Amino acid sequence: MCMEHFTKEIISLQERLAVFPVYHQLNPRLSQEEFERRMTTMMQYKNYHLLGIFSGERCVAISGYWIGHKLYCGKYIEPDNVVVDREFRSMGIGEILQKKLEQIARENACEVMMLDAYLDNEGGHRFYERHGYVRKGFHFVKNLSE
């Protein structure tokens, strides 16, 4: 696996749907059909983007990201659904993705990077803390569809 890795903004719906197998590793309960519906809706928002890391033709990591404003922090970038393919973990791919997201944040004059990480993702927590993120609170969810 000596192949060179490169980052690519994933723009078209067809390209976005092609990364479903990588995303599915993070959220295995989400069907491909629901992924397509949600991605189609999200593409309508101008502040949502999708970034991929590729090894040749293969997508080995993805991160959506939102750019917006909040009262408490000003302009921010929020990496969303960050996933490195299981076969490519511990190979520096997360580092490449993190650096690219930080570059995008600086190019967009963001003051803050913020993200959510699942409580059971302790490896992710350690990774983000090594990269300067600090724990600030809890993310609460109330399911209204049940």
How far apart CA 128 and CA 25 sit, in angstroms, is 19
Single-letter code of the amino acid located at 63: S
- pLDDT tens digit sequence for 5-61: 899 999 998 998 999 999 999 999 999 999 999 999 998 888 999 999 999 989 999
- pLDDT tens digit sequence for 101-143: 999 999 999 999 999 998 888 988 999 999 999 999 888 889 9
Domains of the chain: 5-130 (3.40.630.30)
Q: Report strand pairing: 74-84 vs 112-113.
A: parallel
How far apart CA 9 and CA 4 sit, in angstroms, is 17
**What is the SS3 assignment for 17?**
helix
How far apart CA 73 and CA 94 sit, in angstroms, is 25
Tell me the C-alpha to C-alpha distance, in Å, between residue 140 and each of 17, 76, 116, 137, 143: 28, 20, 11, 10, 10
**What is the SS3 assignment for 28?**
coil
